[in-house]
A and B are shown apart, each in its own frame.
Chain A
Amino acid sequence: MNSILPSRAMRSLPIKQVVTHSPELKSFLFEQTFEAEPGQFVMLWIPGLDEKPFSVSDVRDGWIEITAKAVGPFSRALMECQAGDRLGLRGPFGRGFRPRGRGLVVGGGMGIAPLRYLVHWLERDRAPFRVALGARTAAEMMFVGDFSRYGAEFATDDGTLGRQCLVTGLAARLCADESFDVIYGCGPEPMLVALKKLADERGLDCQLSLERHMKCGIGVCGSCCVDGSGLCICREGPVLDKAELDQVADFGLPHRDATGARKPPRT
């Protein structure tokens, strides 16, 4: 039996530094009190408000970093937090990316955050990789400078950065021009569905990071179980491999809400 990791108990830590990319997009650095792999996540608690999962956007020099965009009440409150404020930070949770061979790294929107840590890992391991990133507009593209160092290609819906197309279009073209062993993906689920299809067509492996409504983060409450295999996204995920994705019956379909009910299909 595994022991219960002490770092998963609730423990607040002061924010060491806040990096402001824009008023609505910031990174928060904490002293690194546990190891985390790319694709794993932490639970971040704002006392008196709520607790939410955030992927790790980097680990370096004894610091652990998460990056958030203002989208709801929680992330808006997070934007107000400053160095010295104490937040609950526990982890690491879930299974991350398992690097292998020549990789195509594909991210969309906020899904780009964990890929930054992934490419740092791939670079450290001297693993060959290419990067394709997409966002609605240039202002929402994270870590452009950092990813540009790796020759990343960019796509935006409005053409304000890189090509005006979907990131899956960039990915398809890269797959036609070059050979890869695996596609790493994180972003909106329709993007992931397209990447899975691309991997199937090209005979590539893929590792895609999924999102479901998460409560406990430790594989107990069942809120984030996918339909089909019943795997917990918080524990066996969030990164699933090709064989696991084939057993996700609700891949690309509406998920469940906090009550456990299936949400009605989007119209």
Chain B
Amino acid sequence: MNPLAVQIAGIALESPLVLASGVLGTTASSLRRVARAGAGAVTTKSCGRTARPGHPAPCVLPWPGGLINAVGLSNPGVEAELEELAEYRRTCAAPLFVSIFADSPDEFGRLARRVAEAQPDLIEVNVSCPNVESEFGAPFAADPEACGRVTRAVKENAGAVPVSIKLSAQCASLARTAVICRQSGADALTAINTVGPGMWIDVGTGRPALANKVGGVSGPAILPIAVRAVYEIRKAVDLPIIGTGGVSCAEDALQLIMAGADAVGVGSAVYAGGVEVFGEINRGLSAFLKERGFDSLAQVKGLAQREGRA
């Protein structure tokens, strides 16, 4: 038996590692490459109804704590994306999660209906992109009731395809948001999106370095925030959680699993470690289980939720 195998929302993954949305997720070829590098599932870059070029450059910058990005939801539009997904399906067996974004619950519903026709393994609903506020307003994720409305709209249109809502660490109450998402029909939750927005200023010119001025912060700097968020959500609901945020090594992934995650998103770590980071984390997880005498990740999940003395 594969000790790294996990199930989320009825989907069997060979590894708990999921390529997080936004990284190497535009084309069938790049998704396939990440799956072959060891991801248990891959998530596409968020797609909308129509093509978007995204924000001008600079749009992704590394800094000592990770990355800051304002890519701005660039995507080729749902019809072109579905062609990519069909090609991925023909050539790769690892489960495929499709991320979608829209500016209203109705639009989310229409998009979900079209995407569901392609039968992805899961639809991930991006209600938490922090770098398009000037265009789309505050993310739905900031408002628990708005998250609920989007969840209902997607679920009414997604048919049998399971739905995960991608939450932000920055909202009135993560616990309440998670409960409302579950009551609205969510099959899983992804937490968290990038944090912020933040800003990086080039001191030589005194100007914000991102063309969009602000962008979502990701990478090692946000791991503790993601761990806390997953811990809070696990306390509040029994839904599967794809814990995402700042994971670069097996110990980081274990923190999220011990906080209560069922699967672990990996994205920005590709910058420092390349796609090989998926294989490295898998090997580290296997070594940990063996060394500690665990048969599966299920025995590790949620360990941090225990109270009292060891």
Q: Which residues of A contact B (CB under 8 A)?
A: 1-6, 8-14, 43, 45, 47-48, 50-52, 86, 88, 215-223, 225-232, 235, 249, 256-262
| 9 pairs of residues in contact across A and B, judged by CB atoms under 8 Å | A9-B61, A14-B204, A88-B209, A220-B23, A221-B22, A221-B59, A229-B29, A232-B30, A259-B80
Q: Is the CB of A10 within 8 A of B200?
A: yes
Contact partners of A88 in chain B: CB under 8 A: 58, 202, 205, 209
A215 to chain B, nearest CB (A): 6
8 A-B pairs besides A14-B204, A215-B71, A256-B26 with CB distance below 8 A are: A12-B205, A219-B271, A221-B23, A231-B33, A235-B274, A256-B27, A259-B76, A261-B76
- Measured CB to CB, the nearest residue on chain A to B24 is A222
Known: A86-B205, A88-B209, A222-B45. A260 touches B57 (CB 8 A): no
Contact partners of B74 in chain A: CB under 8 A: 215, 223, 258-260
In the assembled complex, the Cα of A235 lies from the Cα of B25 at a distance in Å of 16
Q: Is the CB of A221 within 8 A of B271?
A: no
Candidate in A4, A86, A226 with the most chain B CB atoms within 10 angstroms: A4
Any chain A CB within 8 A of the CB of B32?
yes
Q: Is the CB of A215 within 8 A of B57?
A: yes
- Measured CB to CB, the nearest residue on chain A to B31 is A230
- Measured CB to CB, the nearest residue on chain B to A231 is B33
In the assembled complex, the Cα of A51 lies from the Cα of B55 at a distance in Å of 12
Q: Is the CB of B32 within 8 A of A230?
A: yes
Q: Is the CB of B57 within 8 A of A11?
A: no
Q: Is the CB of A260 within 8 A of B249?
A: no
Q: Is the CB of B204 within 8 A of A225?
A: no
- Measured CB to CB, the nearest residue on chain B to A259 is B51
Contacting residue for A227 out of B29, B34, B272, CB 8 A = B29
Known: A1-B273, A222-B27, A260-B75. A86 touches B58 (CB 8 A): no
Any chain A CB within 8 A of the CB of B223?
no
Q: Is the CB of A226 within 8 A of B271?
A: no
Contacting residue for B80 out of A9, A227, A231, A261, CB 8 A = A261
Any chain A CB within 8 A of the CB of B122?
no
Contact partners of B60 in chain A: CB under 8 A: 215-218, 220-221
Any chain A CB within 8 A of the CB of B64?
yes
Contact partners of A231 in chain B: CB under 8 A: 33
Q: Is the CB of A45 within 8 A of B58?
A: yes
Q: Which residues of B contact A (CB under 8 A)?
A: 22-34, 45, 51-54, 56-64, 66-67, 69, 71, 74-77, 80, 200, 202, 204-205, 207, 209, 211, 248-249, 267-274, 277
Q: Is the CB of A47 within 8 A of B268?
A: no
Q: Is the CB of B33 within 8 A of A229?
A: yes
A13 to chain B, nearest CB (A): 7
Contact partners of A5 in chain B: CB under 8 A: 62
In the assembled complex, the Cα of A2 lies from the Cα of B77 at a distance in Å of 35
A87 to chain B, nearest CB (A): 9
Contact partners of A215 in chain B: CB under 8 A: 54, 57, 59-60, 71, 74
A113 to chain B, nearest CB (A): 20
Known: A225-B24, A256-B27, A261-B77. A4 touches B271 (CB 8 A): yes
Contact partners of B267 in chain A: CB under 8 A: 220
Candidate in A12, A220, A257 with the most chain B CB atoms within 10 angstroms: A220
Contact partners of A10 in chain B: CB under 8 A: 58, 61, 200, 202, 209
Candidate in A215, A258, A260, A261 with the most chain B CB atoms within 10 angstroms: A260
In the assembled complex, the Cα of A9 lies from the Cα of B201 at a distance in Å of 11
B147 to chain A, nearest CB (A): 27
A172 to chain B, nearest CB (A): 31
Contacting residue for A261 out of B32, B34, B51, CB 8 A = B51
Contacting residue for A222 out of B25, B53, B64, B77, CB 8 A = B25
Q: Is the CB of B80 within 8 A of A221?
A: no
Q: Is the CB of A249 within 8 A of B29?
A: yes
Q: Is the CB of A225 within 8 A of B272?
A: no
Contact partners of A227 in chain B: CB under 8 A: 27-29
Contact partners of B61 in chain A: CB under 8 A: 9-10
- Measured CB to CB, the nearest residue on chain A to B27 is A225
In the assembled complex, the Cα of A221 lies from the Cα of B5 at a distance in Å of 28
Contact partners of A229 in chain B: CB under 8 A: 29, 33
In the assembled complex, the Cα of A223 lies from the Cα of B70 at a distance in Å of 14
Contact partners of A218 in chain B: CB under 8 A: 60, 62, 271
In the assembled complex, the Cα of A218 lies from the Cα of B31 at a distance in Å of 17
In the assembled complex, the Cα of A29 lies from the Cα of B195 at a distance in Å of 37
Nearest first, the 6 closest Cβ-Cβ pairs linking A and B are A230-B33, A12-B204, A261-B76, A216-B60, A230-B29, A258-B53
Candidate in B56, B205, B211, B274 with the most chain A CB atoms within 10 angstroms: B205
Known: A43-B58, A235-B274. A220 touches B209 (CB 8 A): no
Q: Is the CB of A220 within 8 A of B205?
A: no
